Chains A and B, each alone.
Chain A
Amino acid sequence: MNTNQNILVKLKEAGFRINDKWLVKGVTLQIEKGKIVTLIGPNGSGKSTTAKIALGIYKKIDGEVEKYTNKVGYVPQKISVDWTLPLRVSDFMTLTENLKAEAINEALSLTGVIHLKDKNLGDLSGGEFQRVLLARAISKKPELLVLDEPVQGVDFTGEIALYELIKKISDELNCGILLISHDLHTVMSATDHVVCLNGHVCCSGTPIDVAKNNEYKALFGEQASQILTRYQHKHDHIHTDEGEIKKN
């Protein structure tokens, strides 16, 4: 079935409904090793639902999902940890996999929260918790990373650093990433493939293709389109001369 060895997850005309209400339908996309696929779209457009279909959290779905890996790291959009649990950051890191202390420390250092290792999870701020969530997802060196708004609540400089980290991880681990984000500016620079959702796939392709798409313009407005194309321009520049851009 899997002709392309690089494919990690494949959705074919996938959809999910609760009773008769479709949360999302007709989604076709694939995530490959080393590639970043970004889902964009307004609130309630089915981004998180699509991620959950790809992860196999939703089982009774329409269409097909083929998943070729079990090494998955997931950063959910919402996580409500019950504080009846005494849980330190270090306990949370080994939640789904037993990790060596070095692997835990490395991941926490990468996301800049190593100093919080022995803190109680309930005592973290929103941004700190988000960094811990990301650290946990990457610490197990997954083949597939699903990041549902991974930098929400993170401060501005941290946001940029974390997106850079996500791109670095995708290169270093050669893992496939499904990213959900509202931030058109930052995300697009690193994305290989954009899927624009609005209850269904309204358009998809490279960031530049999507930015030119009329449906995308209708959904996000002309201005958003300009942001994207402008960014894409900058992106081209990064490719021609990487070292210089870092000085910018």
Chain B
Amino acid sequence: MLDDFFIRALLAGLGVAIVTGPLGCFVIWRRLSYFGDTLAHSALLGVTLAYTMEFNIAFSVFIISSLIALILIQLQKRTNLPGDALLGLLAHSSLAVGLVVIGFLTFIRFDIMGLLFGDILAVTVDDLLIIWVGGPLILLVLKLIWKPLFASTVNYELAEAEGLNPDRAKAIFTILMAGIIAISIKMVGLLLITGMLIIPAAMARNISDSPQKMVVYSIIGGVLSVILGLFSSLEFNTSSGPSIIAAALFLFILSLLNIKQSIKLKN
């Protein structure tokens, strides 16, 4: 069964969607979409590293993304530049450096489109293993830090005053973000990973009234996007990443319609 590329892609996509659901909620709540973008852009550098050193791609992307997150924290401490400027600086310079490095590696044939937008054909059994081991691991850790992370998302000082150690939770969350980018890069590509994090969660926000519900709906939204997106990508011969994100957008629009209807009912 795993011999079929489509089954592999589907399994990989579902594994990714289950993890991006809850992480995406935090990305929205903590206003981290730019941060996610920055980590994703730096992933290209991780990919080139993987090729030159013959590492596993997910592993080297994880290392580079974590490194970029660390650099960001240091820059925030040492400069007076606003956060979004620092994020832009890191995102585009790491992307540029990644592309320059690729230029030097003429002996390797890169599928740039696949890197940027995802490639279902490229999902191997090894990738599946990484997704289905790494993904549940990320979820487990997220569950462990849920209380301090969520409390400090609502109010940092409350969490700190009542002894929850929000700084540690934030640091661990950053590592989890690097982790999800590492395992999902092959599915949706580095330009679209943040979309996978944000759009299902944004859809979920429209239809939920509690954080738990939002997490559940976000997972369901992600799973549906993957199924819908992959089948249409097979049907219309389009790239997997954009197809999945377009499907997520479709669900988001549906969730907006739902709100309008309920407002009409109320009036």
Write the chain A residue with the least CB distance to B201.
A84
Contacts A70-B163, A97-B162 supplied; 8 other A-B pairs, CB < 8 Å: A52-B161, A72-B162, A79-B155, A84-B28, A85-B154, A87-B154, A95-B159, A96-B158
Tell me whether A72 and B163 are in contact (CB under 8 A): yes
Q: A56-B160, A56-B161 known; A88 and B210 CB under 8 Å?
A: yes
Distance in angstroms between the alpha carbons of A61 and B147 in the assembled complex: 27
Select A57's contact among B147, B154, B160, B209, beta carbons within 8 Å.
B160
Select A87's contact among B159, B162, B163, B210, beta carbons within 8 Å.
B210
Distance in angstroms between the alpha carbons of A76 and B157 in the assembled complex: 8
Select A95's contact among B29, B150, B160, beta carbons within 8 Å.
B150
Q: Is B211 part of the contact surface with A, judged by Cβ < 8 Å?
A: yes
Q: Is A120 part of the contact surface with B, judged by Cβ < 8 Å?
A: yes
Distance in angstroms between the alpha carbons of A95 and B28 in the assembled complex: 18
Q: A81-B154, A85-B154, A87-B210 known; A74 and B28 CB under 8 Å?
A: no
Q: Is B92 part of the contact surface with A, judged by Cβ < 8 Å?
A: no
Tell me whether A95 and B161 are in contact (CB under 8 A): no
Residues on B lying within 8 angstroms of A by beta carbon are 28-29, 31, 147, 150-151, 153-155, 157-164, 205, 208-214
Tell me whether A86 and B161 are in contact (CB under 8 A): no
Q: A57-B157, A76-B157 known; A84 and B162 CB under 8 Å?
A: no
Provide the residues of chain A in CB contact with B153, threshold 8 Å. Answer: 82, 85
Provide the residues of chain A in CB contact with B209, threshold 8 Å. Answer: 86, 88, 120
Provide the residues of chain B in CB contact with A57, threshold 8 Å. Answer: 157, 160-161
Going nearest first, the 8 A-B pairs with the smallest beta carbon separation are A55-B161, A74-B161, A96-B162, A70-B163, A95-B151, A57-B160, A72-B162, A96-B151
Distance in angstroms between the alpha carbons of A81 and B152 in the assembled complex: 10
Distance in angstroms between the alpha carbons of A73 and B31 in the assembled complex: 27
Residues on A lying within 8 angstroms of B by beta carbon are 52, 55-57, 70, 72-74, 76, 79-82, 84-88, 91-92, 95-97, 120, 140, 146
Tell me whether B157 and A96 are in contact (CB under 8 A): no
Provide the residues of chain B in CB contact with A92, threshold 8 Å. Answer: 154
Tell me whether A84 and B29 are in contact (CB under 8 A): yes
Provide the residues of chain B in CB contact with A91, threshold 8 Å. Answer: 210-212
Select B158's contact among A79, A85, A86, A87, beta carbons within 8 Å.
A79
Distance in angstroms between the alpha carbons of A72 and B158 in the assembled complex: 10
Distance in angstroms between the alpha carbons of A88 and B164 in the assembled complex: 21
Distance in angstroms between the alpha carbons of A35 and B183 in the assembled complex: 54
Distance in angstroms between the alpha carbons of A245 and B150 in the assembled complex: 46
A-B contact count (CB 8 A): 72
Write the chain A residue with the least CB distance to B159.
A96
Q: A88-B209, A88-B210 known; A72 and B29 CB under 8 Å?
A: no
Distance in angstroms between the alpha carbons of A145 and B163 in the assembled complex: 13
Q: Which of A80, A87, A120 is the most central at the interface, judged by chain B CB atoms within 10 Å of its CB?
A: A87
Provide the residues of chain B in CB contact with A84, threshold 8 Å. Answer: 28-29, 31, 205
Tell me whether B162 and A74 are in contact (CB under 8 A): yes
Distance in angstroms between the alpha carbons of A120 and B210 in the assembled complex: 9
Tell me whether A85 and B29 are in contact (CB under 8 A): yes
Distance in angstroms between the alpha carbons of A96 and B31 in the assembled complex: 21
Distance in angstroms between the alpha carbons of A82 and B29 in the assembled complex: 8
Provide the residues of chain A in CB contact with B150, threshold 8 Å. Answer: 95
Distance in angstroms between the alpha carbons of A95 and B150 in the assembled complex: 8
Write the chain B residue with the least CB distance to A140.
B162
Provide the residues of chain B in CB contact with A81, threshold 8 Å. Answer: 154-155
Distance in angstroms between the alpha carbons of A111 and B168 in the assembled complex: 33
Sample (19) of A-B pairs whose CB atoms are under 8 Å apart: A55-B161, A57-B160, A74-B157, A74-B158, A76-B157, A76-B158, A82-B31, A82-B153, A82-B154, A84-B29, A85-B29, A86-B209, A86-B210, A87-B154, A95-B150, A96-B151, A96-B158, A96-B162, A96-B164
Tell me whether A55 and B164 are in contact (CB under 8 A): no
Write the chain A residue with the least CB distance to B148.
A96
A76 to chain B, nearest CB (A): 6
Q: Which of A55, A80, A95 is the most central at the interface, judged by chain B CB atoms within 10 Å of its CB?
A: A95
Distance in angstroms between the alpha carbons of A81 and B161 in the assembled complex: 16
Distance in angstroms between the alpha carbons of A202 and B187 in the assembled complex: 64
Distance in angstroms between the alpha carbons of A45 and B229 in the assembled complex: 59
Distance in angstroms between the alpha carbons of A88 and B147 in the assembled complex: 16
Distance in angstroms between the alpha carbons of A223 and B147 in the assembled complex: 48
Distance in angstroms between the alpha carbons of A73 and B158 in the assembled complex: 9
